Amino acid sequence: MQLDKSLLEKQISKATEYLDEKKNIKAEKYLNKIIKKDPANDEAWLLLGIAKRRLGKKKEAIECFTSVTELNVSKEEAWGLLTITLVDQGNIDMAKKTIEKAGRLNPDNSRIQFLRHTLIDTYIKYGPFF
C-alpha cells in the first residue's frame, strides 16, 4: 500500500534531515517504518542503505542498494553506492559486474557510463570521497 504522496515527501524529508544531522540510527529506524508501509519506495531504500552503510552494516546496505536498483534501474546513486560498498567488502569482481550491469541497463545515461569507466579505479586510488 503506497502512502499519500504529500505525507511520503514529508517523511523522506525527515529521514534526509536525520541523515544530514548524522543521526543514522534514528534514520534507520524511521526508514524501516516507511519501507514497511511502502516497500516499493526506492528513495526510502536508498536512504536506508546510506544509513546502514554509515553504521557499518555493509551487507545490509548492499541489500538496500540492490533493492533500489531492482525498483528503479536508472537510479545512479544506488548503482554507485552499491558498487563502492562491494569494493569496501573486497568484492572487486562483483563491483565490476555491478557497474557494468548498470551501464548495460542504462546505455543512454552519460553519468552511469562515466561511473562505469571511472568509479572503481578512482575509489580504490583515493578512498572514500564523500
pLDDT at residue number 4: 77
d(CA 82, CA 36): 22
Share of residues in the chain with pLDDT > 90 (%)? 89
Quick one: 1-71 is in which CATH superfamily? Tetratricopeptide repeat domain (1.25.40.10)
Q: Say if residue 71's pLDDT is above 80.
A: yes
d(CA 68, CA 82): 10
End-to-end CA distance of the chain: 34
Domain with CATH 1.25.40.10 in the chain: 1-71
In the structure, what pLDDT confidence band is assigned to residue 104 with cuts at 50, 70 and 90?
A: very high
Buried/exposed code over 7-22 (b: 16+ C-beta within 10 A; e: otherwise): ebeebbeebeebbeee
List pLDDT tens digits, range 24-43. Answer: 999 999 999 999 999 999 99
Residue 39's identity, in one-letter code, is P
pLDDT at residue number 98: 98
C-alpha cell, 103: 551501464
Q: Which of 80, 130, 127 is nearest to 103 (CA)?
A: 80
